[in-house]
Amino acid sequence: MNLVLFDLDNTLLAGDSDYEWGQFLIARGVVDRAHYETRNRAFYEDYKAGQLDIYAFLAFALRPLATHPRAQLDAWHSEYMATRIQPMITQAARDLVKRHLDEADLVAVITATNSFVTAPIAREFGIPHLIATEPEIVNGEFTGEVTGTPCFREGKITRLEQFLHLQGTRLDCLTSSRFYSDSLNDLPLLEKVRHPVAVDPDPTLLAHATAHGWPVMSLRGATP
């Protein structure tokens, strides 16, 4: 069985869906600009530096989901997809995904960003599986809490192992495993798969990829 995994933010997308969801809420007047923008930016900088407290971030990021009905959130998300996400999807990214969908047995997005934000994005790419941080839902509405292990850093390995167990296999039993990512935060999982690929990598990942002979590519220009 061949497995292909894609990180989402700054890998398949030319931007960060979690950060842009926060900026969309600010622009829509859903959250207070002065308070939310400062914290959203600070968390994003912590993420890029590899210093994010994932539970503190999730307490912040999931709160707006708990304060609005699901129907309203879904309507906002449709607008967010059109105005924020579609411009971040390159043809090169679509072509790469299509190639692997045609060739691989299992293709999944694996992302720290919560599944409310990312499930429609995975569907836009035609990717059948999503492994993401899961916000808690009670009676069809979000509670603002997270359920299970956040899909972040070593948590991505835990969540991948759970996913593969449901598929009746394990990572070490696969014929091939490939993971595309841009981020130093994904080094734990990149080091687990057989074929790690650095995509428009941050400086730390670029240095690591170069030192270890990993392929480095870009989805911001021509089709790979």
Kindly report the number of other CB atoms within 10 A of residue 102's CB atom: 8
- Contact present, 88 and 182 (Cβ < 8 Å): no
Dihedrals phi, psi of 51, to nearest 5 degrees: -125, 20
Q: What's the whole-model pTM score?
A: 0.95
In this prediction, residue 223 has a pLDDT band, given cuts at 50, 70 and 90, of very low
Q: Dmax of the chain from CA atoms?
A: 50
Residues with a catalytic annotation lie at: 7, 9
d(C-alpha 110, C-alpha 75), whole Å: 24
What would the pLDDT profile of 110-167 be if each residue is shown by its tens digit? 999 999 999 999 999 999 999 999 999 999 999 999 999 999 999 999 999 999 999 9
* Domain spans of the chain, in order of start: 2-217
Residue range 31-72, pLDDT digits in tens: 999 889 999 999 999 999 999 999 999 999 999 999 999 999
Both tokens of 48, joined, read 């890029």
Query: Tokens for 23?
Result: 């900026």
Domain 2-217, CATH:
3.40.50.1000
